[in-house]
Amino acid sequence: MPQSKEKQVKMQAPLLNMKGESVGQVDLQDTLVEINPSKEFLHEYVTIYLANQRERSASVKTRSEVSGGGKKPWKQKHTGRARAGSIRSPLWRHGGVIHGPKAGRLHLDFPRQKARKALAHALAAKYQEGKITFLDSFQLNDARTREMASLLKKLNCSPRTVLVIEEKNPKVSLAARNIKDFTVTQPENLNAYGVLAADRLVLTQAAWQKLSVVGK
């Protein structure tokens, strides 16, 4: 007798409508359930992400930026002194500074593949904490803050919520901009830090399908 193949059971989560009522199930990625989130790996990502957001104000002048020093201080030979070309050399007092800090944003590289992996770990951590809500769709009749706040209340969402919709929607953006700590974004703009910083993550079904490549 040929052996029967075992059917793989897909993990599913409740799918809600905008009234907070269950309307079905949404298929989850295997990685979302199977990943054991690494605190060390997520800490590495968050540290680099926050470092790249900071701008340094400290700035020193290099040799080319220090004023003066256009004339050779003394002739090259027969003075008994060491050779010198400029009084603004980094070896001189009041000269330029070598490898000092410069104002601007410091960029620390974090490979794209590792960033995708960090997002998968962050999503897995949120799911395992029970802080991800899946919606069948998200539409507003008017761009009113009151309507948006009412919907968040029906979904039992705190103000510090990230709503992920499949594409930009002017009505949703206008209705959300006056709610403190509430963020609306799209799947391509979602990152691990935004997921970890949120109290709750709300994803539409279409947005979740766009994120289906996260764990691959």
Residues 116 and 162 in one domain: yes
Residues 113 and 101 in one domain: no
* Residue 4, in any domain of the structure: no
Q: How confident is the model at residue 7 (pLDDT cuts 50, 70, 90)?
A: very low
Mean pLDDT taken over the chain: 86
Tally of structural domains, the chain: 2
> Could you read off the pLDDT of 85-104 as tens digits, one per residue?
899 999 999 999 999 888 88
Residue 152's pLDDT is what?
Answer: 86
Residues 148 and 202 in one domain: yes
Q: Where are the alpha helices (DSSP H) in 56-201?
A: 112-128, 145-154, 170-176, 192-197
CA angle 54, 59, 65 (to 5 degrees): 140
Residue 210's pLDDT is what?
Answer: 86
* Residue 120, in any domain of the structure: yes
Token digits of residue 77: 């030979």
Distance of CA 206 to the CA centre of its chain: 21
**Domain region containing 209:** 12-54+106-213
Q: How far is CA 15 from CA 30, 66, 136, 163, 167, in A?
A: 17, 64, 6, 15, 19
> Could you read off the pLDDT of 184-200 as tens digits, one per residue?
999 999 999 999 999 99
Residues 75 and 43 in one domain: no
Residues 78 and 169 in one domain: no
| CATH number of the domain bearing residue 44 | 3.40.1370.10
Residues 43 and 143 in one domain: yes
> Could you read off the pLDDT of 135-158 as tens digits, one per residue?
998 888 888 888 888 888 888 888
Q: Are strands 12-16 and 22-27 parallel, antiparallel or unpaired?
A: antiparallel
What type of residue is 122? A
Share of the chain above pLDDT 70, in %: 92
* Residue 124, in any domain of the structure: yes
Q: Catalogue the long-range contacts made by 151-156 (C-beta closer than 8 Å, 24 or more residues apart).
A: 151/18, 152/179, 152/182, 154/18, 154/19, 154/20, 155/16, 155/18, 155/20, 155/202, 156/20
